[in-house]
Structure 1
Amino acid sequence: MARLRVAYEYTEAEDKSIRLGLFLIASGLLALFILGFCWLSPALQDLQGTAANCTVLSVALSGQHFECTFTCGADCRGTSLYPCLQVYVNLSQAGAPALLHQDEHQLLANPKCSYIPPCERENQKNSEIVTHWQDYWEEEVGLQPFTCYFNPHLRPDDVLLRRTHDESVILHCFLWPTVTFLVGVLIVVLTICAKSLAVKAEALKKRKHS
């Protein structure tokens, strides 16, 4: 009776281990699928942008003002205005002027301006932040070349100062789901091996007793 009880508990533990392993395998595959569509695809599109040397052609305020949304608490939200700074650069590869943007997010949020400040409640503060960046490009950068990124096929008239995604995103998209998958496979394999060894050991015991 005791042997049957031990064997039953052992089999139940094996089943739990196999179920855990299969769950991790399924989770790893599902994570690879989801992350591949949610993170990997936009990251690869972003990394397709070609690195180039840019030099500043002109820095000026366009005279236009755009709205941004600020928050001042859980139930406090409003809009304020910021001036539109336009930094035009010359690409070493293309030789044509292009509008510089901080990153892809700002390009999509406002394709007319080079910089979107963190939205402050007062318009004056927004103007001061933008003016600071105007001085930076005029005085500190000037005619010095710097690295920028552009995609001549998707947006030939726009360049980015930095990429939204980098190679680390692709690494994480593959690393953690793969680790989860491999751990699941390892649990299943070890459980099957342990069960096989237990069966062989039991068979050897029966031969000795017989």
Structure 2
Amino acid sequence: MHQRSFRNSLQSPWQGGKTSGKMFFVTGRKVASAANEKRSIYQRFRGYELMEKRRTETALKAGEDRALFLGLSMVFCSIMMYFVLCITMVRSYTDSVWTEESICTILNSSLIMEVNCSYSCGSDCWRSSRYPCLQVYVSINATGRIGLLSYNEEAQDISSECFYVPKCQKDHTAVNVMMANISETLKAQQQVWCYYDPKEQQSVILLSRLYGSGAMFHSLFWPSCMLAGGSLIIFMVKLTQYLSILCEHISKMPK
């Protein structure tokens, strides 16, 4: 009886130690699995953050490239427009000798003769017609000089004696009526604004200029706006890139 109780007392501590060891092992597995689960959740969120950051950077890079391409395209188009305008309008404006503007008094306006012309009636088909030559004499109030009045540079190049050269038409009567109306309108106005050559190299006086100062301003205004807008877009894109690089360098500096 005493031997059995002594054996039980020897076995009980061993059995208790075995149970506590088993409990510690189970608890350690639970703690390790919880830590692994937290680590996996953190890695998952970290991966999402990295993917979102890369996606945002890609979208920003694509937007910057488009904006930069737009700015360069605007600058290129404005330069091409300047080039075309310089070889057409600006050159004609600077080479023109009719630089002074004054008021001219209509002295005489009459249809003096008829000029032969030809018009197209189809492919390889031309027919002859006529138009009346309207001759207008004016006096420049600023200088007192008297000369023939021409509608613009184009009309003066075609005919230095006729005020206006209409388009050659088949209906000769309609052209005569149109030129008579122009003559009556000039007589009714009596005084008109005109352009003349102050150096008197050209005796012909112009009623209007093809490319005056107003036309030059309106023609150069829109290319200038396009050039300024394209330059501003390029400047803003480069400034944004510089600021982003500067912020990244500041964030990587040791605190």
**TM-score, normalised on structure 2?**
0.66
Answer yes or no: is 1:53 the counterpart of 2:53: no
Structure 2: which amino acid aligns with 1:33?
A: F
Aligned length: 205
Cα displacement string for residues 67-120 of structure 1 (whole angstroms, at most 9, x for unaligned residues): 15378x999975521111211222234434311112222222222211223544
Distance 1:70 1:49 in 2: 37
Cα displacement string for residues 1-48 of structure 1 (whole angstroms, at most 9, x for unaligned residues): 624454344334323332332232232233223212222222344584
Structure 1: which amino acid aligns with 2:66?
A: K
Instruction: Give the Å deviation of 1:205.
Output: 4.1
Which of 126, 130, 142 is the matching residue for 2:175? 126
Deviates more, 1:189-198 or 1:18-27: 18-27
Distance 1:137 1:174 in 2: 33
Question: Contact 1:70/1:121 (CA < 8 Å) preserved in 2?
Answer: no
C-alpha spacing 1:118/1:5, structure 2 compared with 1 (3 Å)? same
Answer yes or no: is 1:176 the counterpart of 2:222: yes
Structure 2: which amino acid aligns with 1:101?
A: S
C-alpha spacing 1:20/1:135, structure 2 compared with 1 (3 Å)? closer
Answer yes or no: is 1:82 the counterpart of 2:128: no
Structure 1: which amino acid aligns with 2:60?
A: Y
C-alpha spacing 1:33/1:158, structure 2 compared with 1 (3 Å)? same
User: What residue in structure 2 maps to residue 40 of structure 1?
Assistant: 90
Which of 41, 56, 61 is the matching residue for 1:11? 61
**Gapped regions of structure 2 (runs ≥ 5):** 1-49
Q: Tell me which protein shows more strand as a share of its residues.
A: 1
Distance 2:73 2:142 in 1: 50
Deviates more, 1:82-91 or 1:19-28: 19-28
Q: Tell me which protein shows more helix as a share of its residues.
A: 2
Question: Contact 1:98/1:156 (CA < 8 Å) preserved in 2?
Answer: no
C-alpha spacing 1:197/1:87, structure 2 compared with 1 (3 Å)? same
User: What residue in structure 2 maps to residue 97 of structure 1?
Assistant: 146
- Give the secondary-structure state (helix, strand or coil) at the position aligned to 2:195: strand
- Percent identity between the aligned chains? 23
C-alpha spacing 1:155/1:164, structure 2 compared with 1 (3 Å)? farther
Instruction: Give the Å deviation of 1:182.
Output: 1.6
Answer yes or no: is 1:190 the counterpart of 2:236: yes
Instruction: Give the Å deviation of 1:180.
Output: 1.4
Instruction: Give the Å deviation of 1:66.
Output: 3.1
Cα displacement string for residues 139-177 of structure 1 (whole angstroms, at most 9, x for unaligned residues): x24xx4332211144753211122223323222333222
**Gapped regions of structure 1 (runs ≥ 5):** none
What RMSD, in angstroms, separates the aligned Cα atoms of the two structures? 3.2
Distance 1:17 1:79 in 2: 58
Report 1 or 2 for greater relative contact order, CA contacts < 8 Å, sequence distance ≥ 6.
1
Distance 1:185 1:145 in 2: 47
Distance 1:81 1:7 in 2: 73
C-alpha spacing 1:91/1:70, structure 2 compared with 1 (3 Å)? farther
Deviates more, 1:99-108 or 1:118-127: 118-127
Question: Contact 2:116/2:128 (CA < 8 Å) preserved in 1?
Answer: no
Distance 2:132 2:68 in 1: 61
Which of 157, 160, 165 is the matching residue for 1:111? 160
Question: Contact 1:68/1:82 (CA < 8 Å) preserved in 2?
Answer: no
Which of 96, 105, 119 is the matching residue for 1:69? 119
